[in-house]
Amino acid sequence: MKLQIALSALAMLLLSGCNSTKSDQTADTGYRCKQVRSLGSNIPNTYCSTKKQREEAREKAKEAVRNSRQTSVISGGNG
């Protein structure tokens, strides 16, 4: 009985140690996951990214908006 309790306590300590390490690593990189629903689908997908990846995606989106505005100005905006 004492052996079983000791093994259970040891297992809990090992598992809690692994969990805290993962949290520390993800906090450093800004790793984050969220549920995203695709257009036309009600089934959510998990999307995970680092802070750097989110910043790059934001910059690409801003650039795409700028390019679309320039294209509409050049072509006259009727379209």
Residue range 12-64, pLDDT digits in tens? 665 665 555 555 665 677 899 999 999 999 999 999 999 999 999 999 999 99
The rounded distance, in Å, linking the Cα atoms of 71 and 2 is 75
79 has a pLDDT exceeding 90: no
Q: What is the mean pLDDT of residues 64-75?
A: 82
1 has a pLDDT exceeding 60: yes
Q: Domain segments of the chain: what residues?
A: 27-73
DSSP letters along 3-52, please? HHHHHHHHHHHHHHHHHHHHHHHHHHHT-EEEEEEPTT--SEEEEEE-HH
